[in-house]
Structures are given as C-alpha cells and as structure tokens.
Amino acid sequence: MATISPFRAWRYAKERVPIQHAVTQPYDKITPAMQEGYYQASPFNLVRIILGKRFDGDTASENVYTRAAASFREWRETGVLRQDPEPGLYYYTQTFKVPGTAEVAERKGFIGLGRIEDYSSGVVYRHEQTLAKPKADRLDLLRATRAHFGQIFMLYSGSGEVIGGLAAARVREADIEVTDEYEVVHRVWRIAWPEAIARAQQAMREKKLIIADGHHRYETALTYRNERNERGQGGAGGQLASHDWVMMTFVDMDSPGLVILPTHRVVFGLVAAQLAEFSTMARKFFYVEEVDPGIDASRANAILSQAGHANSALLAVASDRAYLLHSPKAIGTDFFGTLSLRQQTLDVVQLHKCLLEGCLHISEEAIRNQQNVHYVREAEEALGQVRSGEAQMAFLMNPVRIGQMHDVAFAGEVMPQKSTDFYPKLLSGLTVYGLE
C-alpha cells in the first residue's frame, strides 16, 4: 500500500564544507542559541535555509524565504551541494545513549521518497494534532525553495525484512558519518543496487505508515501537492510529478532502538486561586498522594515508572508541594466528550483534560497556543524552572508506549500536540530532495 521510490539526493560536497558544520537538528528543535551557533559554524549551514534569520527591513521581495531560495540555488550552482548521479535509497543508522540510562542503542532505517497520500486513503496515518502557524511557515518555505531538506519520520510494522535487505547491500564505509550536539552518531550509506531497491519497494507495498515526527511538514507537502495539481501541474500521461513525493526516513516500529521520551509540561501565568484549589480539584479525577516537594529528577522518574505500570500516573510539582496522581477516576464518563476510551487512557490526555483544563481552567485554545504552558523534555529542567520561579508548576509523566500510539493512529484518532518525543531526531541536510 505504501509507494516508495529511490531518488537522486543533493548532498554536501565534502571538500567544500565539513558535514558536521552543515547539518542541523529539525527546524522545530532549533533554539535561538542553536540557530546562532549554526550560523557561526559555516556560511553553508542548512539553518540559513530551513530557519533563517528575520530582519526588520524584510519586504515581500526580500525576506527569510527568498533568501532561503537564493542560498539553495547558489549552493547547487557553485557545487556546495551536488546531486548523486543515479537514484538510490539511503541506509541510515543512529547510535546513541538512551537518555537517563547507561544503555547504548542503535536505530536503523532508510531514506527514500514516499508517495504523498491523503489520510482518507488508509496508507498514511497521523497520531498528533497540528497547528496552523507552523504549517503556514513551512508552506511558504516549500513554495520558495521547491525542495525538502529534512525527512518525515515514518514508522511501519515488519519483521526486519526491508532494512535487513538494504543493510546487506552496503559494500563500503558510510558515505556520511557525523556526530551531533547530543553525541548521537549518524551514518548514511547510499544504496544504488537496483535489485535491493526493487525488493525494498515490493516489501513496502504491503505496509501502512504512521507519522512519528514531521506532521506539520507532511501536511504542508500535502497542501503543496494539491496546489500544484489544481493549477494543472500534475504529472504527464498519468505519471506522478515530483511534488507527489516527499522525503521520508522509514523505521520498523517492531525493531530495537526505537525510543520515545516523555514531553513534560510546565505552567505559568496563573492566578493564586487556580493554584490554591489544585489539590482539591485533582482529587475529583485521581487518587492523590503527597510526595517530597524537594524530589529530584531521578527519584521522580522512578516513582512514575513504578506507578505507571498499572495505569496513568502523573507527578505535579509546585514550589512547596508535590503530588503523585494515579488511578484516574473519570475514564468512561461524559467528561471527555467524544474522545474514545483509547484516547482517555493516555497519560497525556489525562494531563490535558483533567489537570490543565479541569483543575487549572486553562482552555484548550490557551494550551494549543502555549499561553500558559511550555513543553520540556528533561524532568530536571522542568523541576528547575519551578524552583527558580520561572514556572509555577511542573507536570511530569511517563512516555507514550509505541502500542498506544499504534492503536490511536490506526483508529484514525489523534493525541494532543507534543505527545511523543522520538529520540534521537533525524538530522536535516543529510540528503535533500529538490523538486526541480
């Protein structure tokens, strides 16, 4: 059911720019400090295209998107980026230390083109909600550059057949090897052997795909495809056009090395009354136990892991009080409206609906717009923000399980934004798919 294709990637010429000075984390993971660091690393760093600087004097003809397009055009013309001579798939591994443990893991996948499908086709499934503003930004960039610089992270279920066949086709050292700022080692091999590619294409035709990361960019590519087709710019003679495809990294969800981290929430900007009634309100939705308010991240994660074996478990930590919230009481009631039982049992839904909305009276719109809520990967950072006074309360939780994500996605349902944090991220700039 999934249609994939090899492609002639544009890649950085090693003699023009060291790859470690050129690639970046995905655009939505780049902080202002990281952006500045990338700018300083090289005049050819990809950040200048995917997340360029904006200036007060920008106009309709000179702006962050026109500069991105000009850089991409110049880098191709001057040989900073070179296109591979023949189509290929790109075997991609990431070796990393699992955060919070001493375990070293390796995630294996491959980069190729995937046909863009409407969700209604039953081939590509999402699992998270998207926001309009990021999609508008990515669409403007795609219109200007007519290229994809990062991969959509796609999951499929298999027995290792696809990735095993491509691994066997490697005949040399990696074409690309780079260690990123999180000490993750990324390696890429170009696979151009037609027989190996054909076997991978045949095996993937049986697969359905779940978007792990890149929902906004996938829906942007879908919108762009529709725009081009509505203008009569579809492929000739029934053939697919370049904009019918988007660059993807495909990872078997049944394989080792697939790590999901939690994304914790910190809240701020609340009035005293909202905080004062929290523990009383929380008891309407959970069994509540007080814990040491000076709890550290290691102990917090241990408590959550143990309490979360049976059902949802959350930790709410304020400056002077901390609570373990477990055994939710509202599942199956009208409180959740039209949300299914699959959705209601998710820790992140319990957090959003019961605690943020039900107890603290933060509206769904305010959460969506991050008016009172920020998202934090590390429990230590979340606790630190509370203790420094930057935030009023931190909500810590366990990660979503891959089976939960699978079930929600294939049911055609979604989770709140920032429900899953797949680690590590796919680097942008390893391969580039130019539509023209």
- Token pair 């939505």 is found at 28
What secondary structure letter does DSSP report for 292?
-
- The answer to whether 222 and 116 have CB atoms below 8 angstroms apart is yes
- What is the Cα–Cα distance from 50 to 430, expressed in whole angstroms? 13
- In angstroms, rounded to a whole number, what is the distance separating the alpha carbons of residues 360 and 376? 19
- In angstroms, the first-to-last Cα distance of the chain is 27
The per-residue pLDDT for 238 is 76
Cα 124 to Cα 34, 237, 379, 405, 423: the distances in Å are 32, 25, 32, 14, 21
- As a whole number of angstroms, the distance between CA 125 and CA 411 comes to 9
User: Left (φ > 0), alpha (ψ -120 to 50) or beta: where does 19 sit?
Assistant: alpha
Confidence (pLDDT) at 256: 87
Cα-Cα-Cα-Cα torsion 71, 76, 78, 83, nearest 10 degrees, comes to 150
What pLDDT is recorded for position 234? 83
Element (H, E) at 315: strand 313-318
d(CA 14, CA 4): 28
What are the tokens at 323? 């609570």
Whole-angstrom distance, CA of residue 155 vs CA of residue 44 = 31
For the four alpha carbons of 109, 110, 111 and 116, in that order, the dihedral sign comes to: negative
What pLDDT is recorded for position 146?
Answer: 98
pLDDT computed for residue 204 by the predictor: 97
3-state secondary structure of 400: coil
Alpha helices in 314-391 (DSSP H): 341-344, 347-349, 364-368, 379-388
SS3 content of the chain, % helix, strand, coil (to 5): 35, 25, 40
Q: What is the pLDDT of residue 350?
A: 96
pTM: 0.94
Distance CA 139, CA 223 (A): 8
Per-residue pLDDT of the chain (436 residues; tens, 9 = 90+): 899 999 999 999 999 999 999 999 999 999 999 999 999 999 999 999 999 999 999 999 999 999 999 999 999 999 999 999 999 999 999 999 999 889 999 999 999 999 999 999 999 999 998 888 999 999 999 999 999 999 999 999 987 889 999 999 988 899 999 999 999 999 999 999 999 999 999 999 999 999 999 999 999 999 999 999 999 888 877 799 999 999 999 999 988 899 999 999 999 998 888 888 999 999 999 999 999 999 999 999 999 999 998 889 999 999 999 999 999 999 999 999 999 999 999 999 999 999 999 999 999 999 988 899 999 999 999 999 999 999 999 999 999 999 999 999 999 999 998 899 999 999 999 999 999 9
Exposed, middle or buried, 91 (CB in 10 Å: 0-12/13-18/19+)? buried
